[in-house]
Structure 1
Amino acid sequence: MAIGFIGLGNLGAAIAKRLTSMNEEVIVWNRTKSKAEAKGFVCESSPKVLLEKCDTVFLCLFDSAGVHDVLTMENGLLSAIQKGKTIIDLSTNHFNDVVEFHKVVEAKGGNYLECPVLGSVVPASKGELTAVCAGRESVYLTCKPLLEKFASTIFHLKEAGFAAKMKLINNLCLGSFMATIAECTALGEACGIDKKELLDILGAGGGKSLVLAAKTQKLIDEDFSAHFSTAAITKDLHCLQDLAYSLNRPLYTASVTKELFCKAKMSGYGEEDFSSIYQLFKA
């Protein structure tokens, strides 16, 4: 049976194409049908029709508001969910909202797997994402063979909301590393050091990381076409602050990092790759 997919942004399209390359039939729903068809997908008329034709539907949406809308809109997923139907949600959700998504889907008899992914377009296309899941173990084990088609590392934290929280914590590392690497790059250039040589040295020294490996060429070329956007990491760091507030805990490095990405977004870099924060420091 075909797999359904909703959310053909940069990451979603890469995952959907990866599934297709792994001999899965993927059909989609998209608000703008022509955009989905331009990417080579068959687009159904509504989320309801999509779920009626598939036992499993992936969601890869920008935020929890988008997930809520797709679930509850007229002819949304909840109007077709029933026993035997599964929603795998790859979106980075707010940790409170995602608990409700578990509840409303399961109340209809369906299965919901919370499954944000770590990594972006390039690892998605190679099947090298990391998936962090939360939900009933039986649902996780059923879905795992499908996840293995695009994720080389998979974790299961079981309790609803834990995967969303872990994704936000991970993105604190991601954002902090990127901001520091960008500032180091701009500072080194101000000293007159060749940018490529500078990044090579950082890559062999204190800057050695998956983040630098992934973004070195973007920094060299100043090509900030989005793999993971500034708007997306800004949203995630806002959610992280909500998480800290709910725990009555302060955030230190996260606060500075969030404000830097907010400034980058305000400066017009919201739709660019989050490595575009380099432009703040260069200026």
Structure 2
Amino acid sequence: MKIGFIGLGHLGKEIAKRLISQGVDLVVYNRTKEKAKELGVEIADSPADLINKVDAVFIIVFDSEASKKVIFGEKGLIKGEIKNKTIIDMTTNHYKYVENTYKELKNIGAFYIDAPVLGSVIPAQKGELVSLVAGDKEKYEEFLPIFKKFCKSVYYVGEPGKATKLKLINNIVLGGFMSVLAEAIAIGENVGFDKDLLINILSEGAGKSYILDVKKQKLLTNDFSPHFSVDLIYKDLHYAQDLLKDTNAFSFILQNVKESYGKARFLDCGSLDFSAVYKIFKKDT
């Protein structure tokens, strides 16, 4: 089976590298061809060109607007030979976009899998991402061997949109943990404690978490080179707010967490790792 891949951002590139290392026959497309050359595989000229060369396409782009352009745009996937082919969208999308895209592709004889992933660059390099998959179960089963090449766990959760909703719920927690940890560390420094001591205490106490483990070094060194950006978590939390509105759900924290990243964006930290939210709480940054 020949697989297409679209989206070579920080996470996408690592997933693509992992698939190649696992023997997957990959053809890629990226808006900036230079980012694709180092992979050493065939590069398509457009999404439409890509779909003509492969049996299925994995997509992981910034948001639903970017996904829409890749699939339905002027040189999008639907402009090529898409009938009977499968689009696996790992983008953290808006749930309504996912539901509509599934229906639109089904109407033209193609298949769409809603498949966002949990985890970032380091787990991707190790093949330890977690995938949430929704859509036609037979398609999930068909592509499960591919998912297992870059994921430690794969969860089939039902109808299209459900995987995206779960991802958004997960990212409420992700964004909240990071913001609270950053605030606590900054408060501790502001009252006179050493950052290293604070992080060690939090790691042994109430702050003990996967998030602190993976972001500890960035916080210690102020190295906010992006694995998962402020812009991305802000976008995800905005989509999560829509989910709460549409379901009449309630949250005390979501708006405040989202706007902590909004302030980080205002301070020109949008392209930095989302742990850079620390900067909004630290007095001397």
* TM-score normalised by the chain length of structure 2: 0.96
Distance 1:39 1:273 in 2: 24
SS in 1 for 2:62: coil
How far off is 1:278 after superposition? 0.4
Q: Which residue of 1 aligns with 2:54?
A: 54
Give SS of 1:157's match: strand
Amino acid at match of 1:68: K
Q: Secondary structure at the match of 2:16?
A: helix
For 1:15-64, what per-residue CA distance to the aligned partner results, in whole angstroms no more than 9, with x for missing partners?
00111111112221112222321454432111112111110110001001
Structure 1 contact 81–108 (Cα < 8 Å) conserved: no
Name the structure 2 match of 1:14: 14
Instruction: Assess if the C-alpha contact under 8 Å between 1:241 and 1:251 holds in 2.
Output: no
2:263 corresponds to = 263
Question: Which amino acid in the other structure matches residue 99 of structure 1?
Answer: E
Superposition map of 1:19-168 within 5 A: 19-168=19-168
**Please, which runs of 5 or more residues in structure 2 have no aligned partner?**
none
User: Within 1, Cα distance between the matches of 2:200 and 2:37?
Assistant: 41
TM-score, normalization by structure 1: 0.96
**Counterpart residue type for residue 196 of structure 1:** D
Q: CA deviation at 1:81?
A: 4.6
Partner of 1:205: 205
After TM superposition, give the deviation of residue 183 of structure 1 in Å: 0.8
The two structures, once aligned, show a CA RMSD in angstroms of 1.3
Structure 2 counterpart of 1:205, one-letter code? G
Q: 2:52·2:82 contact (CA, 8 Å) conserved in 1?
A: no
Q: Hey, what's the Cα distance between the residues in 1 that align with 2:185 and 2:42?
A: 43
Alignment correspondent of 2:195: 195
Does 1:240 find its partner at 2:225?
A: no
Distance (whole Å) between structure 2 residues aligned to residue 28 and residue 145 of structure 1: 19
Which segment is superposed worse, 8-17 or 18-27?
18-27
| Other structure's SS at 1:48 match | helix
> 5+ unaligned residues in a row in structure 1: which ranges?
none
Residue identity matched to 1:268:
D
Of the structure 1 ranges 30-39 and 263-272, higher mean CA displacement relative to structure 2 is found in: 30-39
1: CA distance between counterparts of 2:181 and 2:43?
40
Distance (whole Å) between structure 2 residues aligned to residue 63 and residue 122 of structure 1: 21
- How far 1:171 moved relative to its partner? 0.3
1:121-173 alpha-carbon deviations (Å, 9 max, x no partner): 00011011110111011011111110011110111111111111111110000
Whether contact under 8 Å (2:116, 2:132) holds in the other structure is yes
| CA distance in 1 between partners of 2:74 and 2:132 (Å) | 30
* Paired residues, number: 283
> In structure 1, what is the Cα distance between the partners aligned to 2:265 and 2:206?
27
Q: Does 1:5 align with 2:5?
A: yes
User: Is the 1:81–1:105 Cα contact (8 Å) retained in structure 2?
Assistant: no
Distance 1:221 1:41, change over 3 A: farther
Q: For residues 48 and 147 of structure 2, what CA distance do their matches in structure 1 show?
A: 23
